[in-house]
Amino acid sequence: MLPHSTLQTDFDRHAFGPDFTWGTATAAYQIEGAVDRDGRTPSVWDIFSKQKGKIKTGETAEIACEFYDRYESDLLLHKELGFNAFRFSLSWPRILPDGIGPQAGGRINEAGIAFYDRLIDHCLSLGITPWITLYHWDLPHALEQKGGWPNRKIVDWFAEFTNICTLAFGHKVKHWIILNEPLAFSVLGYFTGQHAPGRRSFRNLLPAIHHTALVQAEGGRIVRQNVPDAHVGTTFSCSPIDPFTPRDQAAATRVDALMNRLFIEPALGLGYPTRELPFLSGIAKKVAQPGDMERLAFDFDFIGLQHYFRAVVEQSYFMPYLWAKDVSPLRRNVQTITEMGWEVNPETMYRIIRQFGQYEGVKQIYITESGAAFYDTVQQGMVHDPARVSYHQDYLKSTLRAKQEGFPVAGYFVWTFLDNFEWAEGYRPRFGLVYVDFRTQKRIIKSSGRWFQQFLND
């Protein structure tokens, strides 16, 4: 039971309307484990996380939450919390161990298909609607060896993967998300090297961006063709960008173009934001093939916004191409920060919905991720996380404000269900509503999970 005071909000679930989707979001690599079981081959993250110094804690996701074996009991827990939707991703190397599909000479791993089939059936039997993300960063290593995202062939590789997945699951799953945060895997994976595959060169950046944007639209077209009643969208990481001082306005505009506009604008038929980021004109000059610019557009049914923090930037001559850098919350004396060092500022949820909701082509918005990492500890068998309870209450309130002003917000997915492998940060930052003891795999519902349980069952 929670103390009554922490339960108080001046809104209830009904304020969001009867059709609002309440879900949690996860990703295959962060929870499944079983990385070498039943025919799965390594992804770029398996290779990257074993390289010295890439993961801050030196950990890997070989075991993670053992969701591959525990999905049945875990989903029962999910049901108990009251969420009606579960967002998960398909591990490409579990389904296509060679990366490529049969058309290109590769194999389909039936055991991989069977796992997701069981998972989907289990969701459906519990009355939980499955939402599939096709790509949440675990590129098959076999494809990285062929050049990965900078190789134009990725457009065909992804098309075949999408084709196979939609034909296998499209009769049961109607909600499809093409990509998870394209900016993160293209820029962090191929330019800054902080994420897998850890490549760092400007030469790779433009092709990685362009192929990602093409795949985003092509993937949408394939889903719509194979699953005629599909509800198809894609996700974007996003944050309002504020200038540190009035002099930094131009820097903020450039960072906004990179962080918020780079992938949605081509999808909406607006092209890349080359005016603010002239280096992107290299795409049309050197990377794109004839007809590509039209192929970047796709009429998505919805967009997914993944919003966590506010960003403040200043001008900087040391950061090539962008000429701007982040001003950390610590430097700004912001007290409310998470374990990730991110500023908690609920107002920005409203602002980012408004920013994306103003595009004419955006029909529907889901918050496909929002959440906070804190340093959780178990005390007398319980995990009290009042800061996370407040985070979700406040971010939900801000979401509601945007909805009440008429922005078409249709759902909220908490990042995340279970504490899990937080990419280059390892297991230290815990985002879950459910605590995982990674030594014993024991699960404990945190007070934030209990708060949602009461809120959703009200």
Nearest to 38 by CA among 69, 64, 60: 69
Number of residues that bind ligand GCO (CB under 6 A): 11
Minimum distance, C-beta of residue 396 to ligand GCO, in the bound complex (Å): 17
Q: Per rule CB under 6 A, is residue 306 in the interface with ligand GCO?
A: yes
Check: CB of residue 360 under 8 Å from CB of residue 265.
no
Check: CB of residue 391 under 8 Å from CB of residue 342.
no
Alpha helices in 343-416 (DSSP H): 347-357, 386-404
- Interface with ligand GCO by CB under 6 A: which range of 144-152, 179-187, 217-225, 395-403? 179-187
Q: Per rule CB under 6 A, is residue 415 in the interface with ligand GCO?
A: yes
Closer to ligand GCO by Cβ: residue 181 or 242: 181
Nearest to 136 by CA among 190, 179, 87: 179
Among 16, 22, 24, 27, binds ligand GCO (CB under 6 A): 27
Residue numbers 208-247 binding ligand GCO by CB under 6 A: 237
Among 46, 218, 369, 376, binds ligand GCO (CB under 6 A): 369
Q: Is 276 a catalytic residue?
A: no
Catalytic pick among 160, 181, 218, 265: 181
Measured distance CA(280)–CA(282) in Å, rounded: 5
Q: Is 218 a catalytic residue?
A: no
Tokens of 280: 């992107």
Minimum distance, C-beta of residue 353 to ligand GCO, in the bound complex (Å): 17
Minimum distance, C-beta of residue 14 to ligand GCO, in the bound complex (Å): 28
Minimum distance, C-beta of residue 449 to ligand GCO, in the bound complex (Å): 17
* Those residues with Cβ within 8 angstroms of residue 14's Cβ, 6 or more apart along the chain or in another chain: 458
- In the chain, count H helices and then E strands: 18, 13
* 3 state SS of 43: strand
Measured distance CA(189)–CA(181) in Å, rounded: 12
Query: Whose structure tokens read 């068998």?
Result: 381
- Interface with ligand GCO by CB under 6 A: which range of 56-64, 115-123, 178-186, 406-414? 178-186
Nearest to 91 by CA among 134, 39, 61: 134
Residue numbers 34-53 binding ligand GCO by CB under 6 A: none
Closer to ligand GCO by Cβ: residue 137 or 244: 137
Among 184, 284, 334, 444, binds ligand GCO (CB under 6 A): 184
* 3 state SS of 239: coil
- What is the contact surface with ligand GCO in residues (CB under 6 A)? 27, 30, 180-181, 184, 237, 306, 369, 415, 422, 431
Catalytic residues, which ones?
181, 369
